[in-house]
Amino acid sequence: MSFPTPTTGYVSAGGFADDAVYRTTDGGRTWAQVSPVPPQGTAVDASGAGGAVYVSTAQAVWRNRLGGAGA
């Protein structure tokens, strides 16, 4: 996988009070929520320069470009 920087990472947390997908850009020191609703499934496409994190929810599939804003 090729993330924008070596210190970038994602985690999907489910079954907790704050179900969401989180991103770190500082090697795990801090985490920011990047999914708008609790995830039911998560996939990462790190191919090429425009990879993305996909999150399936009960209503839709949400996309966040690696290193970019959600769409």
2 assigned to some structural domain: no
What is the Cα–Cα distance from 33 to 70, expressed in whole angstroms?
11
Cβ–Cβ under 8 Å, residues 53 and 43: yes
Domain that residue 35 falls in: 9-65
Cβ–Cβ under 8 Å, residues 29 and 10: no
1 assigned to some structural domain: no
pLDDT of 3-50, one tens digit each?
Answer: 567 788 878 776 666 778 888 889 899 999 877 677 888 787 877 666
48 assigned to some structural domain: yes
Which one has a higher pLDDT value, 51 or 49? 51
51 assigned to some structural domain: yes
Domain total of the chain: 1
